[in-house]
Chain A
Amino acid sequence: MGKESSDKSDSVSSRKLVLPGDLLETKSKPGRGIFRRDGRVHASVLGYSSDQSGYMNVNAITGGYTPKVGDKIVAICVETGPSVWRMDIGASFNSTLHHSESGWKVPFGDTARFLTIGDAIWAEVFMVDAAGTHQISLKKDDCRKLYSGTIVKIGPTNVPRVIGKQGSMITAIREKTQTRILIGQNGHIWIDGKGNDIATVQKAIEMIDNEANSKGLTKKIEKLLEK
């Protein structure tokens, strides 16, 4: 991806496609998407290797969402319990939103009055434990329940492409269409605005998702938004 990567001058030097098991020659500390065998570093996922700021990472091109503490996500309610909500965040397991993390004063058994199946929220992952379970919170920063709007789901590995370098892509989309957009790290994207605008943004985001690894993506999106 000649043009795109030359834009990202900070990461261009060591960008290379690696496959699971590939040996990575590096003196940096091990970061994401790698494992060690006999003191040497190997890639564990299919992705692009990057060796910067002292860390060796492999950025996956495909794959599901693995929650990390502090991630801002769009979650959808799939089940209500007496004091918790079970939320779909696109990971292997549903996440839990406990009533004490909702910011609402919820009487026991009355959870569905606040958030019912199908409702969406903008939340933060605040706990992930070794057993793979995770909890989300509504009490952080700008976390809230999302009314109106629509949700588009894309591959979580393509989220950085939707945002663009220093937010260039998403700023362009927002300005050209007059929409409000929240991009979850889990690949769920909430869009609100006028019907036509939502449709345009949805089209643009789906295009980014499908062609995340192709050349000249920013130009293509700009062209699409001009129409």
Chain B
Amino acid sequence: MAGQTDMELIKDGVRLDGRKADELREVKIVAGVLDNANGSCYLEWGNNKVYAGVFGPMECHPRHKQKADRAIVQARYTMAPFSVNDRKRPGYDRRSSEISYIASQAFEKVVMVEEFPKASIRVDMQVVEAHAGTRCAAMTAASVALADAGIPMRDMIPACASGKVNDVVVLDLNKEEDNYGQADLPLAIIPSTGEVVLLQLDGHLTPDEFEQALDLATSGCMDLYKKMRLALENKYGGSA
């Protein structure tokens, strides 16, 4: 989020990659791609490539993290060393532990944790290729993986970002827009109620722009939700 730049990121309403301001990048979702996980998903979102796998509910370790009346969701977001231009030092870092934490909290809002006391539901998200918006991509993939694992949930949560580039509010920032734009606002919602389970903001937005960005991201989430449904219907054969 460098903010000021001479770069022309949007011209006559058309962005660098040819999209309009309110257009998502191409999204491809495949459910149930891994044999060894209880539930899994592979997601391609523009140039982002993400795998998500779900295990559990299982006994929670370490035991001091157990909750006597409910399960906890232990989400883990990691980026592969080869997912970015400069080789990323492998393993957990400040950024990934933050994303893991907020993802866990978001999933605990939808997963019926009260059905599994003392248990843990493990959600692993692996970014294989990163091109801006990986936390949204990872959480979307993880939602599909959770449904694929047969874990009781109130809804699936799609996540999508909006932001501001060259003073225009746009949906789903790509790499250049993320790096040289003015604001980035990732959002995750519960589609059936409209509740917000994740909202972050990096950069500057006026109150009006914020409202606009929020609406845009919400509509992006709803589009994405349809694609998530389609992925699961494709795997399980649709209406029989």
The answer to whether A and B assemble together is yes
Interface, chain A (partner B; CB < 8 A) = 1-2, 5, 15-17, 19-21, 23, 33, 35, 37, 42, 44-48, 60-64, 92-93, 130-132, 157, 213
Are the C-beta atoms of B154 and A61 separated by less than 8 Å?
Answer: no
Closest 6 CB pairs of A and B: A63-B150, A21-B155, A62-B150, A20-B153, A44-B152, A132-B117
Interface size class on chain B is: 35 or more
Q: In this assembly, does B239 line the interface, its C-beta being within 8 Å of a C-beta of chain A?
A: yes
Are the C-beta atoms of B39 and A17 separated by less than 8 Å?
Answer: no
Instruction: State the Cβ distance, A171 to closest chain B Cβ, in Å.
Output: 25
Report chain A residues within 8 Å CB of B149. Answer: 62-63
Main secondary structure of the interface of B (DSSP, over half): loop
Measured between alpha carbons, how far is A47 from B119 in the docked complex, in Å?
23
- Residue in B39, B68, B118, B190 whose beta carbon sits within 8 Å of that of A93 in the complex: B118
Are the C-beta atoms of A21 and B237 separated by less than 8 Å?
Answer: no
Are the C-beta atoms of B58 and A157 separated by less than 8 Å?
Answer: no
Are the C-beta atoms of B112 and A63 separated by less than 8 Å?
Answer: no
Are the C-beta atoms of A130 and B117 separated by less than 8 Å?
Answer: yes
Interface, chain B (partner A; CB < 8 A) = 38-39, 56-59, 68, 110, 112, 116-119, 147-156, 190-193, 229, 232-233, 236-240
Report chain B residues within 8 Å CB of A46. Answer: 147-148, 150, 232, 236
- A93-B119 in contact given A15-B240, A19-B229 (Cβ < 8 Å): yes
User: CB-nearest residue of chain B relative to A12?
Assistant: B240
Instruction: State the Cβ distance, A220 to closest chain B Cβ, in Å.
Output: 16
- Residue in A33, A62, A132, A157 whose beta carbon sits within 8 Å of that of B39 in the complex: A62
Report chain B residues within 8 Å CB of A16. Answer: 239-240
Measured between alpha carbons, how far is A96 from B57 in the docked complex, in Å?
18
